[in-house]
Amino acid sequence: VSNAGVGMAGPLECQSMAAMQSLMDTNFFGLVRLVKEVLPDMKRRRGGHIVVISSIMGLQGIVFNDIYAASKFAVEGFCESLVVQALRFNVAISLVEPGPVMTEFETKLYEEAERADYSRTDPETAEIFTNLYLRNSKDVFASLGQTPEDIAEHTLRVIEAARPPFRHQTNVAYTPMAALKHADPSGALMTDAFYKLVFKYDTVLRLSLR
């Protein structure tokens, strides 16, 4: 089970390249290093199961989560490319894709975001992040967030499955969000829906979550 991960949220201009590279080294290359170690023996035994804790953000990018989403997209692409070869050797690969999970991971991330310096971006972007994104995110976590125990139960079901699924989403509330991309290959439907959700209907969003 590959579970190591770090988060990053905020305006792109405020993130250092070193921090971005460190995140990718943990979230993506950490997984690659692990798979490189375990896969050869699984191939020799012609049996095994690699379970990767991914994220709904590996399927759908979220505003102000550019680098974190990129790392999870990389995880998804890596596993999707590897799964067919692995099946040839009777090795299963499963991606567990949670939405928001209420842990110290997120608490620390948002505490750091509230204290961060946003002088490297323009005032409008800083305002959108601090007064729209952070406020809405707290409501999303309070309303839709799962517990670590719930994610553990989902992961256990994937591990014990007679025919392990390649992808397993833990929160049905996010299924429509991911489906928007497949409904319109041009991306217009998804982009328009998220733009309106963030900039036009954020008050309705918060009220509905509460």
Active site residues: 68
Strand partners, 91: 48
CB atoms within 10 A of CB 148: 13
Gap between the terminal Cα atoms of the chain: 34
CB atoms within 10 A of CB 85: 12
Torsion angle of the four alpha carbons 129, 130, 131, 135, in this order, in degrees rounded to the nearest 10: 100
Q: Check if the beta carbon of residue 113 is closer than 8 Å to that of residue 158.
A: no
- CA 28 from centre of chain: 12
Q: Check if the beta carbon of residue 210 is closer than 8 Å to that of residue 143.
A: yes
Q: Which residues lie below 8 Å from residue 90, measured CB to CB, with a gap of 6+?
A: 46, 47, 48
